[in-house]
Amino acid sequence: MRRIAGKNLVLIGFMGTGKTEAGRLLAGELNRRMVDTDQLIEQREGMSIGDIFKKYGEPYFRGREQELICELAAQRGLVIATGGGIVLNGENVRILRDSGYLVWLDAEVGEVATRLAGDTTRPLLAGQDESDIAELYEQRQPLYGAAAHVRVSTTRKTPLAVVGEIIRVLAE
Ligand code: S3P
């Protein structure tokens, strides 16, 4: 595990690629503490991401997200599951790369759309159809690619299989 010795392990990727579940399982395997940025923001704000967007707007959420990234990047040995928009801010990426090893969980757009169908918890998807999701997905792909140290596909894989693959990559 020399790739992540003394570092945070950071999962990035589009909505619906399985970051939270993989993060939870990975943290168990590696005996590390897991932090999910969305969950922690919800806890601190005392409301869901959807309500934060509704009440204060997206820029407010992005501000909380950036503060949290700074706070977590000052720690070591965490598994961090991030929100899909973390890469929109170049400073977030720089800070995370300084303290961590970034794994991009990627999935084919068709599978992402299937996984996200009917989701009501993600404000950016409200009122969006499959082609809107595909457009956002295409815009984001280069950002994840540029931010990550390594890419792991989650298409047609169980969370356990994904975690097995991440652990293999880390051991290389
Ligand atoms: C977002 C992704 C969400 C959440 C928010 C915005 C995005 O997290 O942070 O709804 O901009 O991609 P998940 O990737 O965990 O769904």
Name the H helices within 15-89. Answer: 19-30, 37-45, 49-56, 58-73
pLDDT at residue 15, rounded to an integer: 98
Q: Which atom of ligand 1 is nearest to the CA of 37?
A: 9
One-letter identity of residue 161: A
- Please give the model's pTM, rounded to 2 decimal places: 0.97
Q: Evaluate: CB of 21 within 6 angstroms of ligand 1.
A: no
**Rounded-to-integer distance, Cα 144 and Cα 13, Å:** 6
Q: Is the pLDDT of residue 85 over 80?
A: yes
Using the predicted structure, report yes or no on whether residue 172 has a pLDDT greater than 90: no
CA angle 138, 42, 102 (to 5 degrees): 45
Residue 127 confidence (pLDDT): 87
38 lines ligand 1 (CB under 6 A): yes
What is the rounded CA–CA span in Å between residue 82 and residue 144?
12
- The residues, any chain, with a CB within 8 Å of residue 101's CB and separated by 6 or more, are 3, 4, 7, 8, 9, 10, 149, 150, 170
| Res. 88 pLDDT band, cuts 50 70 90 | very high
Gap from CA of 82 to ligand 1 centroid (Å): 8
Which secondary structure element, helix H or strand E, spans residue 106, and what is its range?
A: strand 100-106
**CB 49 less than 6 A from any atom of ligand 1:** yes
Q: For residue 117, give the DSSP letter.
A: T
Predicted confidence at residue 2, as pLDDT, reads 80
CA of 143 from ligand 1 middle (Å) equals: 14
Q: What is the mean pLDDT of the chain?
A: 96
Pocket of ligand 1 contains residue 124 by CB under 6 Å: yes
Helix, strand or coil, per DSSP, at residue 28: helix
Q: How confident is the model at residue 118 (pLDDT cuts 50, 70, 90)?
A: confident
Q: Name the helix (H) or strand (E) containing 90.
A: helix 90-99
Measured by CA distance, the residue closest to atom 16 of ligand 1 is 15
Which amino acid residue places its CA nearest to atom 15 of ligand 1?
A: 83
pLDDT of residue 1 exceeding 80, the answer is no
